[in-house]
Each structure stands twice: as structure tokens, then as C-alpha cells.
Amino acid sequence: MKKPKVSIIIPVYNGSLYLEEAIESAINQTYCNIEVIVVNDGSNDNNKTRLIAEKYKNKIKYFEKENGGVSTALNLGIKKMTGSYFSWLSHDDKYKPDKIEKQIKYLFDNNLLNSNVILYGDFEAIDKKSKYLWTERKDHNISIDKPEYILLRGQINGITLLIPKKAFDDCGLFDEKLRCTQDYELWNKMCSKYKFIHLPYIVAESRFHPNQVTNKSPLVITEGNKLWLKLIKNVPDNRKKELEGSLYAFYMEMLNFIKDSGYDEVISYCRKQVEKMEDNIKYNDDVINYQKRKKNETIRKDNKSITKKIKLSIKTVGVRKTLKKIIDKFNKS
């Protein structure tokens, strides 16, 4: 079977600091049947972005347009692509050399080519100087057991995805009215017709730096509140119970996840649901069971921490000294 062409689309706005690294990581993929499309979204940096892209004119397809946001740049790239699979690369991020190869191999090995399947993976975080920060590994079981949490737990980094071109025909393009949540809005639409599968591979390097839109735009909160409220409300109550054992547990877990997000409307909504149930005798058992569950989780976590410390002590100072330390601590208590 012929290997499908993959279109790597790089939307860019004033990307002179990082664009070259992004392009290099795309054109140097170990998978050969690719096209790289760079869409300049009206950069106003004295042609710096254009000059970098033009260095690769024989290896990429390059388009320019008036500034309209990343959605408009991605949509233009999708309209221009000739591949049967879409892969998004932000101009300040990088792919691992075998990103595309690993994902296409998975589709081949599992007879999933041209099926309604979207792949996503793990990534490494890097800073503005491309220095490694940490590894972001997603919960592999979520996509199997609790697919709603792929979105509700923020599992997807867009640059790790591999999407069939036909998914855009079936579900539409990115919403050009949105500046910050256009990705999750579209993934949400695709979830109804496509299965998202997590591959536990590190496929990309995602850069964290001060000039990112997520660090600067007030629309992050405005659009984020609307998106998360929609995601939560779209899950039927009976499914919420299945996910966490009870409605009360579902909203408490949502609060725990989203409490530091800044999405004040979402936090307020979840808190009101919790307070209603705490004031209603009908939910007494749910409240008590959740409290027991969290207490047991804390005990397990503490036990795991103690075990880890004991193992480390044995490794560093030996069994005898470790036992002595434990006995001394016990006697003091």
C-alpha cells in the first residue's frame, strides 16, 4: 500500500526568532512523503519572517496573507494542502525527527489508514533558548476509558496531532472568529465523528516563552470560559456519574482540575453545583463517599512517598542505616 502524503502546516506571525528551527524540524522528518506549507499571517517585522521562509523556497510551499489570526492561516494551509493527512506545527515549536513516521506506522500496523481516527501524543517542553524544561506525558488510559476527558483534562497539544484531511470536510475548518480556543472548539466537533487515540510517544517540542498569545491575550479567559462551560454542559448527567461515580465527585474533580486556570465563570459554575448538592440531603451519601475517597487517595499518596524515601535511603546509605533511621523516628514519636 502506498504511503500517504502528510501536509505539515506552519502558520507564522512575526516568527523570525524560531521559524527556522520549526521548518528544519519539518523538512528533516524521517518520513519522506511530506509537504511543508508555511503561511505568513501578515507579519509586520520588516520582512524578517519572509526572508527566513524564502531560504527554503525549494523545500516548502510559502503563502502570505493579511493578518487574521492563526485560524485563518491554518484554514488557508488546509485549502492549499495536497496531502491526505494534516499535521500542525506552530512556528515556535519543533517536531521530533520521527514524529510523522511513528504515527503513520501506527495507522499501517493497526489497519487504520483512512479511517475516522485522529492521533495525538506526548511532548517535551522547551524554553526560549530551546533548553529542555520537562516532559509532558498524557494519561494513556483516558483516551480508552474516559474519552470525554481528552478535552476536559486538556490532554491535547495541537502540534502532536495527525488528522485525516477528510475530517475537515466532515467537521469544518477552524472558527476564524476565535483567537485562542479555535483548536479545542474544532477538536470538540471532531470528537463526535472521530476517535482520538493517544500514542505514548514524545513526538514534539513545545516552546514556552513570554510572547505567546496564551500569555498576553485577554481573550484567553473570555473564550476559555465559554469553551469549558460548553464542554462540561455537553456531558450528560448520567455520563458524569459514570466518569467519577457521582455528580458530586464529577464537579469536585472538575474544580480540582480547573481551580488555577483563571476561568472564573467555570469555577463559579462548578462551585455552585457542588454547593447545591452539599445543601441537599439527597446527595449526602455522594458527599460522604467522595470525602472518603479523597482521604484514601491521600493515604495512598503518603504511603507511596514514604516508600520512595525508604528506597532512596537504602540506595544511598544502605539497609542497616535506613532501618536505624526508621527505628529512631518511631521511638521519638
Distance CA 107, CA 115 (A): 9
The answer to whether residues 29 and 162 touch, using CB atoms and an 8 Å cutoff, is no
In the chain, CATH 3.90.550.10 sits at 6-215
Residue 149's alpha-carbon distances to 152, 197, 201, 215, 261, in angstroms, are: 4, 12, 19, 24, 16
Q: What is the pLDDT of residues 29-54, one digit of tens each?
A: 999 999 999 999 999 999 999 999 99
Distance CA 38, CA 53 (A): 7
Taking the mean position of all CA atoms in its chain, how far away is CA 86?
16
82 is written with which cell numbers? 495536497
Q: Nearest Cα to 126, choosing from 276, 36, 255, 18?
A: 18
- Placement of cell 476527558 in the chain: 149
- Max CA pair span of the chain: 75
The DSSP bridge partners found for residue 123 are 136, 204
Q: CA dihedral in degrees (27, 30, 34, 40; nearest 10)?
A: -30
Above pLDDT 70, what percent of the chain?
87
Q: CA dihedral in degrees (313, 316, 318, 319; nearest 10)?
A: 20
Q: Nearest Cα to 34, choosing from 1, 93, 82?
A: 82
Q: Is the pTM of this model over 0.85?
A: yes
Q: How large is the average pLDDT for residues 274-297?
A: 93
Q: What is the pLDDT of residues 51-79, one digit of tens each?
A: 999 999 999 999 999 999 999 999 999 99
Phi, psi of 11 (to 5 degrees): -80, 140
Q: Which distant-in-sequence residues (6+ apart) come within 8 Å of 292 by Cβ? A: none
Residue 196's alpha-carbon distances to 110, 148, 230, in angstroms, are: 14, 10, 19
Q: What is the pLDDT of residues 191-207, one digit of tens each?
A: 999 999 999 999 999 99
Length of the chain in terms of residues written: 333
Q: How large is the average pLDDT for residues 277-283?
A: 95
Residue 258, H or E segment: helix 247-258
The answer to whether residues 160 and 203 touch, using CB atoms and an 8 Å cutoff, is yes
Strands, E assignment, the chain? 6-12, 34-41, 61-65, 85-88, 94-95, 117-126, 132-136, 163-164, 195-207
Angle at 210 between CA 209 and CA 213, to 5 degrees: 95
Above pLDDT 90, what percent of the chain?
83
243 is written with which cell numbers? 466518569
Q: Which CATH architecture has domain 6-215?
A: Alpha-Beta Complex (3.90)
Q: Which distant-in-sequence residues (6+ apart) come within 8 Å of 118 by Cβ? A: 161, 162, 163, 164, 167, 190, 194, 195, 196, 197
Question: Is the pLDDT higher at 147 or at 329?
Answer: 147
Q: Is the pLDDT of residue 214 over 60?
A: no
